[in-house]
Amino acid sequence: MEHEYSGLLSQETKEKIDNFVKFHKQNNTNVVLITSGGTTVPLEHNTVRFIDNFSIGTRGSASAEYFIQKSYAVLFVHRRRSLRPFERKFHNVNLLKLINKNEPNAPTELFKVNQSLINFNFDQLLESHQDAVEKNLILNVDFITVFEYFALLDYSCRAISSLEKNALVYLAAAVSDFYVPLNEMPEHKIQSSDGNLVLDLKPVPKMVGKLRSEWCPKAYVVTFKLETDPSLLLTKAKKSIEKYQHNCVIGNILEQRKNNVLILESNGKVTDIYLNEEKHCEIEEMIIDHLCTEHFLYKKNQPSYG
């Protein structure tokens, strides 16, 4: 796969990432690399058509905000036009209804926000965002294709590896599992004799093993597993940790993923996190709260508490 994504990152993007990491290394800040949203698989070189995974980046963008609350700097590697931290709150909000003129027909530059249309405090959101920007705690970088995704993952992991155990990797993106290799693209759009289009897709190479072995060996690495069958979830999560030597797998059952996740640590500890009616928060706040404690213990070389 490397030969297919090498050269895809602009010098400008590389410098932004380098400067962000350098800044936080000087300040000894924890840095989390979050990947978010789905990757696309182009089906042709001019890329009118592509295969996509359904994901708008809900978990990744929400998680970023809670990491920032814990004073982490967030390198937010996301699918272009998927949800971004803070800005995500305007998803499904018509801005032209949200923002009103102060007084009808009055020539003024001041506007009112129709707070009744939103379920968050607009003023507080502005302040939290402004605070994150002033402290340089968020860097948004975007991808579209699975090739761009791997280029960014590779480069970002190597960049944060200099932070050693201050680095956390949180792989929430939905990565394509099948793709058309670049050099096979013309052959793969075969029009059959009956006018059908036949696509022959190859499995996407597993790159996640490289995080521990090559790209950022000391980082605390969190990955996600999505299953529809709850009985398979823990077994698969355990196998994944053993194989790739990550620190933690977050297991989602497709239909309950907004209310319940299982967190499996490399020492075998399982934590069941669920929202109930009494908890007035997003599940991502509880997940990040848990992970920050685990990351703290990892940095101290202490065994996971529990």
Neighbours of 57 (CB within 10 A): 27
Binding status of residue 281 toward a copy of itself by CB under 8 A: no
Residue from 3, 54, 116, 124 in contact with a copy of itself (CB under 8 A): 54
Binding status of residue 16 toward a copy of itself by CB under 8 A: no
> How big is the site for a copy of itself, counted in residues (CB under 8 A)?
48
Distant-in-sequence, close-in-space partners of 298: CB < 8 Å, separation ≥ 6: 165, 220, 247
Task: Report CA-CA distances (Å) from 99 to 106, 126, 127, 148.
Answer: 15, 14, 17, 36
Order of strands, sheet of 270-274, starting from the edge strand that comes earlier in the sequence: 138-143, 73-79, 31-36, 167-171, 220-227, 248-253, 260-265, 270-274
Whether the Cβ atoms of residue 115 and residue 104 lie closer than 8 Å to each other: no
Binding characters for a copy of itself, 114-153, by CB under 8 A (x = yes): ---------x-xx--xx-----------------------
Binding status of residue 175 toward a copy of itself by CB under 8 A: no
Specify whether the backbone of 195 is left (phi greater than 0), alpha (psi in -120 to 50) or beta: left
Q: Please say which residue, 251 or 295, places its beta carbon nearer to a copy of itself.
A: 251
Residue from 198, 231, 278, 300 in contact with a copy of itself (CB under 8 A): 198
CA distance 14 to 11: 5
Residue 253 in tokens: 């059952």
Binding status of residue 94 toward a copy of itself by CB under 8 A: yes
Residue 191 in tokens: 């029009």
Binding status of residue 106 toward a copy of itself by CB under 8 A: no
Point out which residues pair with 250 in neighbouring strands. Answer: 224, 263
Compute the least distance from the CB of residue 62 to a copy of itself, in Å: 16
Of residues 211 through 240, those in contact with a copy of itself by CB under 8 A are 228
Binding status of residue 185 toward a copy of itself by CB under 8 A: no
| 233 membership: H or E segment, kind and range | helix 230-244
Residue from 16, 25, 90, 236 in contact with a copy of itself (CB under 8 A): 90
Q: Please say which residue, 125 or 297, places its beta carbon nearer to a copy of itself.
A: 125
Residue from 6, 19, 121, 178 in contact with a copy of itself (CB under 8 A): 178
Residues at the site binding a copy of itself, with contacts judged by CB under 8 A: 40, 43, 46-54, 56, 81, 86-87, 90, 94-96, 99-102, 109-113, 123, 125-126, 129-130, 174, 176, 178, 192, 195-203, 228, 254
